Structure 1
């Protein structure tokens, strides 16, 4: 009896152990239902039925399942954040998807504070929100932890570009190219070439970026759009239009291709067609840049009431962006400077933006323009000239520098800058071209008289 009792006790202990082990095993395997995870929402305009969206939706569902099954694997949160960020880029619905991506990245970093991909992805998101300094810090942390990862160098390159450290950006891009020469690396290299005045080299490398892309995918469409812009800025609008139409064959209703065609129509004096195309683009992708273009077109076309409507919408968009954590100092200052609105506030913002990144070309040129608009032209012109230090082929900067030089009585300098502006691209902005041409004609007449 005693031996049997002992055997029973052993069996009971074993059975108890097995019950605990099996319970733990199935608890581990069973998805954790208590955490509500965000997902993708149907795209507008029939985009919800596309293979691209359906694949993204399946991928999101997979990572949601993996997170529920094992909530302690940081990588799954990072991959889900990537999906949300890409969907925000494709749809323009940043206000929906950025908070979701941020939540996933915070979960990942709570689990693994030094997870390099989570750090780099958070940095990429901060770049979109224009928090450049914090983005650079996170990208540098990620680079320290993963010095052989191309994605990290791409994010670091972008942060350095925005902060005006162009030498550092070139080095980061070179590292990215050496590790993984793909579409993203080539596109950055092309931008840097253009920034340094090598437009033909930029075209060559951007074509490499396009060739490295997958037919119909959003990143290839974006690279092709950038290629079209390069050709437009080279004074070859027919080639640019051909590229934009090709994008629309690969990816119907791609908003930036529609906007590119709108810009060409505007340059050719077909304002109504340009307006219609920008409206189409905005219906597909709610980018405030399209509204800004519409405001300018309506104004130059004499449609004052409609221009005022667009201006109101743009300013409302800016306010919403700020509520959602964006830094829009540069965008606000540039828009108000272009439309002679709220010039005191615009100057305050351009000054703040310039202070945080004093070597950035955009920060320099916008602050210079706002100083000029506020009657401080003597302070403004040196900033514009600093913005031209790399010989970046931006007609607008040269044209505005010419107008400033004219206002200061530096007539020969004004002629040189205005001639360069028109030589770089005679199509850069219908309204500004007229002003530049009139100023140049006046200066030339004055030189003949003197």
Structure 2
């Protein structure tokens, strides 16, 4: 599954092996600097909403500075930083900022429910999934009828590969509070289990529960668009992206969605302009990969290689394998970036690190299977692909990768089945993967 989609569902709607960590932040709050709002870019910096946000932040700075034991203001500031991370994509900075306020509250009251819930949420944002799950389990014992914490438990259990627990948590959540947040999680769980019609229906319910123009509502509309993309309804997907952008000007996820539609339709000039526009608004390394894909498709390999090299440099900066401080585990993202760059051994190294932290997660298994495939170790790839398919997920990228891997191990019947299912609705996926899959299916059908 596309990480931008799945991770958005896990985080965006809420106010093992050696890993690589981006943007370190000391857990000792006394040694941390005081974090402030950073300037927004482009349309995000225009309008009354940003002005009121800055004024509100100033008031909270004053309150927390004047009273170090003001838990309410500290948590309000943490909420503000968490929201700003969603809006700008600058999770590395705002996660640290929010965690500072959370730790301040927990130093006063170690069982403060909201602080524990936020700490769990921030750990999920940083991809510290096991830690996030442990903290959420502590918090739910304090407030067993709070829907917010069940949402975090859904997210954490999905990431750790505890899918039955995630389903139980989602059912509890929706029974407590049927709203945009709970319906969107039901949608994602249905997608994971191969029920695209059910996933679309639940995401529509989530959308109906929101308010047009609200950040969470428009994010949900974008996710609905991605579901239509994966099922071959590209025009419907494009309509949802356009509508999200109309309701919320300068909304980067919608711009990225439109860029991807343009890429699939081979309108490379439009796609390039849209990806570049989104890149000025939000921190998202996949934009660079998509731009590099366009450069490859338009016979500009040198430009593509330079862009990917820069992306890898930016993703890997400030990495410390032995650092014990909180930071963002980025092994899955780095694995795909290295594989894209043709540095397959490095890609495998990071895929293994990701897998070792959460061996039951289907995405971690898919990443490792694909890394072994790229390293021509098809037997190992097949075993991990078996695990990746255990929930019956029908994501077309997963099915294409599975079909290619099984074809290489001689399991032609399974390969043919997966590739046929993946391609029959002409999903909006990467053209290189789609073309490779079509060619393999043609050979299998000879």
Does the alignment reach a TM-score above 0.5?
yes
- Local SS of the residue matching 2:424: helix
Conservation of the 8 A alpha-carbon contact between 2:279 and 2:287: yes
Is 1:172 the counterpart of 2:172? The answer is no
- Local SS of the residue matching 1:52: helix
In the alignment, the residues of structure 2 paired with residue 439 and residue 427 of structure 1 have an alpha-carbon distance, to the nearest angstrom, of: 18
In the alignment, the residues of structure 2 paired with residue 317 and residue 291 of structure 1 have an alpha-carbon distance, to the nearest angstrom, of: 11
Conservation of the 8 A alpha-carbon contact between 1:81 and 1:100: yes
1:332 is matched with which residue? 334
In the alignment, the residues of structure 2 paired with residue 425 and residue 382 of structure 1 have an alpha-carbon distance, to the nearest angstrom, of: 27
Give a deviation string over 1:374-428, Cα, whole Å, max 9, x none: 2221111122122112221211222122222222233233222211221254332
More helix by share: 1
Q: TM-score, normalised by structure 2?
A: 0.87
Conservation of the 8 A alpha-carbon contact between 1:393 and 1:424: no
Which 4+ residue blocks in structure 1 deviate beyond 3 angstroms? Answer: 35-39, 320-324
2:149 is matched with which residue? 152
Which structure has more relative contact order (CA 8 Å, sep 6+)? It is 2
Conservation of the 8 A alpha-carbon contact between 2:43 and 2:250: no
1:139 is matched with which residue? 136
1:15 is matched with which residue? none
Structure 1 range deviating more: 55-64 or 278-287: 55-64
Correspondence 1:34-433 to 2 at 5 A = 38-320=35-317, 322=319, 325-341=327-343, 343-423=344-424, 425-433=426-434
Conservation of the 8 A alpha-carbon contact between 1:37 and 1:64: no
Conservation of the 8 A alpha-carbon contact between 1:154 and 1:185: yes
Runs of 5+ unmatched residues, structure 1: 1-34, 446-450
Query: Kindly tell me: are residues 184 and 321 of structure 1, through their superposed partners in 2, closer, same or farther at Cα, counting changes over 3 Å?
Result: farther
In the alignment, the residues of structure 1 paired with residue 204 and residue 179 of structure 2 have an alpha-carbon distance, to the nearest angstrom, of: 12
- Local SS of the residue matching 1:325: strand
What is the CA distance between 1:98 and its match in structure 2? 2.4
What is the CA distance between 1:41 and its match in structure 2? 3.3
In the alignment, the residues of structure 1 paired with residue 50 and residue 74 of structure 2 have an alpha-carbon distance, to the nearest angstrom, of: 19
Conservation of the 8 A alpha-carbon contact between 2:77 and 2:98: yes
In the alignment, the residues of structure 2 paired with residue 424 and residue 129 of structure 1 have an alpha-carbon distance, to the nearest angstrom, of: 35
In the alignment, the residues of structure 1 paired with residue 137 and residue 48 of structure 2 have an alpha-carbon distance, to the nearest angstrom, of: 36
Structure 1 range deviating more: 362-371 or 374-383: 374-383
In the alignment, the residues of structure 2 paired with residue 86 and residue 40 of structure 1 have an alpha-carbon distance, to the nearest angstrom, of: 11
Conservation of the 8 A alpha-carbon contact between 1:322 and 1:328: no
- Count of residue pairs the alignment pairs up: 410
Structure number, greater radius of gyration: 1
The Cα RMSD (Å) is: 1.9
Give a deviation string over 1:176-220, Cα, whole Å, max 9, x none: 112222211111111111111111111111111112222212111
